[in-house]
Amino acid sequence: MTYSLTRRAALIGGACAALLTLSSAPSQAAAKIQRLVSPGGIEAWFVQDATVPLIAMEYSFSGGASQDPPGKPGVGNLVADLLDEGSGDLDSKTYHERLERRAIELSFAANRDQFRGSLRMLKDNKDEAYDLLRMALTSPHFEAKDVERIRAQVISNLRRESTNPSSLAGRKFLELAFGDHPYARTATGTLESVPTIEISDLKEYTRRIVAKDTLRIAVVGDVDPETLGKLLDKTFGSLPAKAELTPIIDVVAAKPPQRAFVPLDVPQTVVTFGGPGINRHDPDFMAAYVVNHILGGGGLSSRLYKEVREKRGLAYSIYESLLWMDHSALFIGNTGTRADRAGQTVDAIDAEIRRIAEDGPTQQELDEAKSYLKGSQMLALDTSSKLAQAMLQYQLDKLPIDYIEKRNAIVDAVTLDDAKRVARKLWGNGLLTVIVGRAPQAAAQPASAPPKAD
């Protein structure tokens, strides 16, 4: 299983996975996050929770799709789809039978910056689960027949995406935002690149990426620290000490306003919009997070929803979100509308963006957003899997291990002046806009806008 910034943009447009509902008590567990170091030096963030006899583990290696070879986007994605297709002394069929027999859930994914994985199991099946993961990471087969079968599935998905307006909008948006930077490349590859990927590319990518120095791990479940330490050593201990990563430069998304139109004969026009965002460690990040909730992240209560959906009936839904990566950041939104109303929809979005950039939110909007964001945190961590994913993300974001406890105070500290200042910073320059659909109405461009891109 793989995901990418394009897919993440399709979820928030066309960003960060299906979650198992493994029971936990995260409001209590959050206070018990501990930093565990195995006898062999493998580090993990760990919550011991015996509420139910289950274990959830999330892990990642730095690299991801940005480490795909030049001209071959999709290598990391293909590796993620193939690691569980036979390893060690097990062929693909036998390997999957072992997983299914014990109800072990194992998956891998390549996003922009990380090669990630998930492992879920019953407590009694932990030895076999961790051993199957070890085999996948250390001795994947990459058999030609398996590679061609998975390659055919990826190509089939790419062909479907080539006529999917949301997918096309997401891809075009990344090209518009990032130009020739690796972030502009789609993580799933292209119809041109995927057929050219060779088994040697898959092996070389795995050799360079899967290493201990960039490994991050989060575990939640019914296992004691001593046992977990041994399992981590057995699973990850034999990996190479250091990854061989190609340096990726920092990049700021292209400056708005810009607009691109992609012609596609479909009943509904898709609009993806966004621009440069706020990096995770920018002092203004939490203010941006709060004010973004007011603009487009608050579902039915957001300004964009009220203006575009409720007042004008132009779209069924509209949403917008902040995305942050290791080397850049975006805000990005998405909506769909009738082709003959696409121009009105884009104008309504532009107007609301200008209004919040110029005036900022009201004190009432700020108070309500802060109240929601504080109250919803624990609901967002109501399973072992969700808590493990959050713990991993906090590590990747280089946040302190007690961040969950501190977060509400950080939200509370955002002032109205902060929110207004950051609204101008985020949205004061307008939007990068991609419109995918039928030409006449959707492509209508103001005279001041740049020429259309193909």
Q: Where are the alpha helices (DSSP H) in 261-315?
A: 285-292, 303-304
Three-state DSSP class for 191?
A: coil
The pLDDT of residue 136 is: 97
What does the alpha-carbon distance between residue 71 and residue 24 come to, in Å, rounded to a whole number? 44
What does the alpha-carbon distance between residue 76 and residue 401 come to, in Å, rounded to a whole number? 29
What does the alpha-carbon distance between residue 329 and residue 52 come to, in Å, rounded to a whole number? 38
Write out the residue limits of the CATH 3.30.830.10 domain(s) in the chain: 5-236, 258-442
Structure tokens at 370: 């802060």
- For domain 258-442, the CATH architecture is 2-Layer Sandwich (3.30)
Phi/psi-derived region of residue 433, left when phi > 0, alpha when psi is between -120 and 50, beta in every other case: beta
Strands 216-221 and 54-62: antiparallel
The pLDDT of residue 440 is: 55
Task: Give the neighbor-by-neighbor strand order of the sheet with 54-62.
Answer: 34-37, 43-48, 216-221, 54-62, 114-122, 105-110
Side-chain-side CA neighbours of 142 within 13 Å: the count stands at: 19
pLDDT tens, residue order, the chain (454 aa): 433 333 333 333 333 332 233 333 444 444 489 999 999 999 999 999 999 999 999 999 999 999 999 899 999 999 999 999 999 999 999 999 999 999 999 999 999 999 999 999 999 999 999 999 999 999 999 999 999 999 999 999 999 999 999 999 999 999 999 999 999 999 999 999 999 999 999 999 999 999 999 999 999 999 999 999 999 999 999 999 999 999 999 999 999 999 999 999 998 999 999 999 999 999 999 999 999 999 998 778 899 999 999 999 999 899 999 999 999 999 999 999 999 899 999 999 999 999 999 999 999 999 999 999 998 887 888 899 999 999 999 999 999 999 999 999 999 999 999 999 999 999 999 999 999 999 754 344 443 343 344 4
CATH number of the structural domain 5-236: 3.30.830.10
pTM of the model: 0.87
Interhelix angle 199-209/144-161, rounded to 10 degrees, is 90
Q: Are 384 and 220 in contact (CB under 8 A)?
A: yes
41: burial class by Cβ within 10 Å (0-12, 13-18, 19+)?
exposed
What does the alpha-carbon distance between residue 199 and residue 176 come to, in Å, rounded to a whole number? 32
